[in-house]
Chain A
Amino acid sequence: MYTPMQRYVLVALRLLIGWHILYEGFSKLLIPNWSSMGFLKESKWILTGFSDWIISHAGILNAVDFLNTWGLIAIGTGLILGLFTRVAAISGAILLFIYYLNNPPLIGLEYSVPTEGSYLIVSKTLIESIALVALAVFPSGSFAGLDILVCRFRNRNNKMEE
């Protein structure tokens, strides 16, 4: 059980991250012919080979772009509405962690895209990813979000079957 303050803070964090991810998704949708190719070309560290493989196959790149854009929109919507909150939070954490692994600010890795802050190993992407893990561990959908209805619906069905 959480105190009311803990509930407010958790819900606020969920809404803000949801907002951010939802807009990331929509902004990709709104740029004509947006592609993850630029980002993947810049990939350094352990996922370089995988990223190159994606870029060299037009069909796969296409699929990745589609899944990425709509994945972000789905995750963002889920977090804001508190619908399937835990699934949304875990998927978001994994997605963000993949972004992080593609361009971690490690010593010796140089990127041609300038970053908007100063990072050493830890970046905002990594922090946001861990924040999503926190949201999965401390679920808030069951007291503020559509998960309440999902819960009810499931419980009722279970009861009917009894």
Chain B
Amino acid sequence: MEKEKEPTTNSEKKNDMAQKPIIKRRTLLKALAGIPVLGVFTFELFKKWTYDQEKKNMILQELGLDNIQAPAIIKSSSATKNDLLRIGIIGFGSRAVSHANGLGYMHPDDVEARGKNDTLKDWFAQEDLNVAITGICDVYDLHAENGLAIARNEFRAGGGKPSDIPVKRYRTYQEMLDDKDIDAVMIATPDHHHAPITIAAAKAGKHVYCEKSPAHSEEQLYEMYDTVKNSKIVYQLGHQIPQSVIFQQAKDIIKKDILGKITLVETTTNRNTSDGAWIRHLDKDGKPKPGDEKTIDWDQWLGHAPKVPFSIDRYYNWTKFFDYDIGLIGQLFTHEFDSVNQLLRIGIPKSAVSSGGIYYWKDNRDIPDLLHCVFEYPDRELTLLYSATLANSRSRGRVFMGHDASMELGSAISITADGDSTRYKKQIEAGLIDPSGPMISFNPNSGKIDAVTSATEKYYAARGLTTTTINGLQVDVTYLHIKEWIDCIRSGKTPSASIERAFEEGVACLMAHKSYVEKRRTEWDPVNRKIV
């Protein structure tokens, strides 16, 4: 380091500073040595960024996807929200809790718990739907009390104000449907009650939001369809999945024919836990969950089903028994079918073949734990496949396979070009599209569609890990589905999971179920409208 002569007095010091340059030129150059490097860096950074943008835009333009934007959540117009809608909930298990949350109601304990782990904000931002839960109906006291506590909580999403209508518990659903002070009902009972309650509600003129599956038998399904069609009620089946913003993108991708001719759609269920296999009567410590004949109205719970003595196994694990539902087909394939039907409008299949068995969960169940169903649509030149296992959780996704590309549709969209595609032949040869990894991904949280370029992005997109919770709110799809139903009640429009869709789904599911039970191929007779 250069040493400069030390000035001695104060006046000399000041004088010295004024006359001599403070720093020598050579020292200054050394001090600024990093500046040119930073300059080069900035230039290169800009070049790289421009290159990446151009490459992304080129792929998106080639595919005609450059103008896709994430749809915003549509706000209800205030004019349609004037009338308070009084809603009764029939069956108050865990699913009804989600329904109540969607309506803007939450249990005080949940409010506290979610406030602590920072997840209350998204729920609280939900728009107030101007509804009041005024009735709860459950055969089990504990569940009904839970429902009452939720309906009575004054802390509401979206700044909703507590209504002054008292919340009533109804012992039977008939009692609730007879009450003039109920406008609409949400049904979240075991499946064998869905159709009978829907039919009674339609006759009573109450709007219906019903969980899947729509009906437990053919007779129920046909009667339900006719009754709802001949009524003025708004019916919505509980398939919230297509409310996800990525479904709007998927629709656009199908419309723009990015995949080419789709001939195979593969849907799957991949579970490997006792809970996933519907063994749910034990708590964490392995002790039976609460509930007995004194607190559960067993006769009412059974309804039209064969009379059997009270069983905690049947009460909590009803899915295992054909008396109350149709297993994997009714619980999980229904969602798959609706997802595909919402996108491709496939409707009722010409034929269905199911095969499977009870290979892993060898308890007292009727329902298979491994199941494959094949649905043929010769008019559409398409096969819909459902492959389900309750004994392996390897993620197999939901894939739409076209001649030019495959689309995996889960919590994110990922589209991979086919190596032998006709449409993308040139781009693949030019190296613009790489068929070994996804070429487009859509991350619902980033709100925009992206051509995938970097290896890490490709990696995460393939596994649906690109989702983030950084910007914007996480919107609950059940809330959106309920909101659509309520908006339709007020506007008189038809919701997406209408009675028509429910009928198509009901027929497809019952065809597959009949095929499994009768061990034969079943067909739909469109003239006589029945399964043969």
Contacts and interface: CB of A to CB of B under 8 A. Distances in A.
A41 B119 CA distance: 19
Contact of B33 (A59, A82, A113): A82
Contacts of A114: 459
B30 A80 contact: no
A35 B117 contact: no
A58 B469 contact: yes
A30 B22 contact: no
A70 to B, nearest CB: 15
Contacts of B456: 113
B305 interface: no
B457 to A, nearest CB: 8
Contact of A35 (B32, B38, B468): B468
Contacts of A58: 118-119, 121, 469
Contact of A77 (B28, B30, B38, B49): B38
Nearest to A82: B34
A16 B420 CA distance: 43
Contacts of A159: 13
Nearest to B466: A38
Contact of A143 (B30, B52, B468, B471): B30
A34 to B, nearest CB: 8
Contacts of A33: 443, 445-446, 468, 470-471
Nearest to A41: B465
A35 B470 contact: yes
Given A58-B119, A145-B31, A159-B13, A152 B41 contact: no
A32 B448 contact: yes
B27 interface: yes
A149 B117 contact: no
B37 to A, nearest CB: 5
Nearest to B446: A33
B10 to A, nearest CB: 9
B49 A37 contact: no
A80 B41 contact: yes
Contacts of B45: 23, 26
Contact of B37 (A19, A34, A146): A19
B460 interface: yes
Given A19-B41, A22-B41, A33-B443, A61 B469 contact: yes
Given A15-B34, A33-B471, A81-B38, 8 more contacts: A19-B41, A35-B470, A37-B469, A38-B466, A145-B30, A145-B31, A145-B33, A148-B27
17 contacts: A26-B45, A33-B445, A33-B446, A33-B468, A33-B470, A35-B470, A38-B466, A59-B118, A80-B34, A81-B38, A144-B30, A144-B33, A144-B34, A146-B31, A148-B30, A152-B23, A159-B13
A104 B36 CA distance: 36
A124 interface: no
Interface string B116-129: 01110100000000
Contact of B35 (A22, A81, A148): A81
A159 B17 CA distance: 11
Contacts of A77: 38
B442 to A, nearest CB: 12
Nearest to A79: B34
B31 A57 contact: no
A81 B445 contact: no
A90 interface: no
Nearest to A78: B34
Interface string A127-162: 000000000000000111111110010001001100
A146 B32 contact: yes
B444 to A, nearest CB: 11
Nearest to B471: A33
A23 B13 CA distance: 45
Interface string B319-355: 0000000000000000000000000000000000000
